[in-house]
Amino acid sequence: MRPTPRLLPAILLAIAGCGGGPFPQTTLAPRSDLGVTVDNLFTDIFWWAVVVFAIVEGLTVDNLFTDIFWWAVVVFAIVEGLLLFVIIRYRARPGAGQPSRLHGHTALEIGWTLAPALILVFIAVPTMRTIFATAARAPEGALRVEVIGHQWWWEFRYPEIGVVTANEMHVPLGKPVQLEMTSADVIHSFWAPGLGGKRDLTAGRITRIAFTPDSLGEVAGQCAEFCGASHANMRLRVLVQSDSAFALWVARQKTDAAVPAKGSLAERGQELFAHGACIACHTIAGVPQARGVVGPNLTHVGSRMMLAGATLPNTEEWLRRWITNAPSLKPGSLMPAMPLPEDQVAALVAYLQSLQ
Ligand code: CUA
């Protein structure tokens, strides 16, 4: 069959998916001690399985992986062959009566109970050890970050340093971090695969993840528990920074919002913001009217890379579209469409972008 023009991009995409990457959400490139622990569990079980196979094979390590491949082919052929045989040989035929029943084959039953049980024990022991190891609290003095899941964005609060932000968590390299997580509404799940682990956020409960990031840069993540219409639009980023870059970020985030220049477009935007609907849901430190807590704190929204649950780049164009009609970009969004005149939207955009 020749691929139709419509099919071609899909095929190319699929091939590209199997190629070189990048894979920002791979679980196989750990970037924290927690990630390494989880990755070790996977690789340890894999290599133990290989060792067991080598012993069964009589310890000939030559062509071990080729052997494993062909054994897998043999198992596949037997299973699929039996399946096809049963489907064809014992298919329903008109006029056929009830099939006769077979009961009990003690040796077989003991065999197929014992073999999986042994395999499960073999996997369960290291798994339990890892579960206990990754449930431990971070050491004293760790950076505490409160993570609050909302439909559909992430709130990150740093209670000890007085910073509140959204969707982008900043942490310093090589320092233990203790996440204390809960939800403002339904169940969400924090998952930044590079850091390891995946843990639910439930209203009325605190769940925890502790990790120490071991490489600089961005770690992509997302909500991993279906939480409503825009579950897929609930992404997050963790930015692992050097000590000095993190300190600089903290210092800037702790300040009140920038005050726009007299007579500027941003000043008009601030006025619209402070006397419009925005303040019902958003806080801007330094703007006394803006104390809403339903939506993200916007004190330094201009310093963020992304908008709307880290799904849209924080640019003038996307901000304009977001303010005008948020639900069209994030279905179910609590932020309603704002049918404002164009000049008012432009002023609001100018103001929000000035909040660096
Ligand atoms: Cu929050 Cu899915």
Q: Relative to the CA of 225, which ligand 1 atom is closest?
A: 2
Whole-model pTM: value is 0.80
Q: Does the beta carbon of 223 sit less than 6 angstroms from any atom of ligand 1? A: yes
pLDDT above 90 as % of the chain: 42
Query: Tens of pLDDT along 219-263?
Result: 999 999 999 999 999 999 999 999 999 999 999 988 887 888 888
Q: How far is the CA of 152 from the centre of ligand 1 (A)?
A: 6
Q: Does the beta carbon of 227 sit less than 6 angstroms from any atom of ligand 1? A: yes
Q: How far is the CA of 191 from the centre of ligand 1 (A)?
A: 10
DSSP string, 329-352: HSTT-SSPP----HHHHHHHHHHH
Q: Does the beta carbon of 234 sit less than 6 angstroms from any atom of ligand 1? A: yes
Say how many C-beta atoms besides its own lie within 10 A of residue 317's C-beta: 10
**Is the bond preceding residue 48 a cis peptide, omega within 30 degrees?**
no
Q: Relative to the CA of 227, which ligand 1 atom is closest?
A: 2
Query: Contact at 8 Å (CB) between 172 and 242?
Result: yes
Total residues belonging to the chain: 356
Question: Sorting pLDDT into bands at 50, 70 and 90, what band is 143?
Answer: very high
**Which two three-digit tokens encode residue 129?**
């050890």
Question: Sorting pLDDT into bands at 50, 70 and 90, what band is 71?
Answer: confident
CA torsion 355→260→252→211, rounded to 10°?
-10
Q: Does the beta carbon of 188 sit less than 6 angstroms from any atom of ligand 1? A: yes
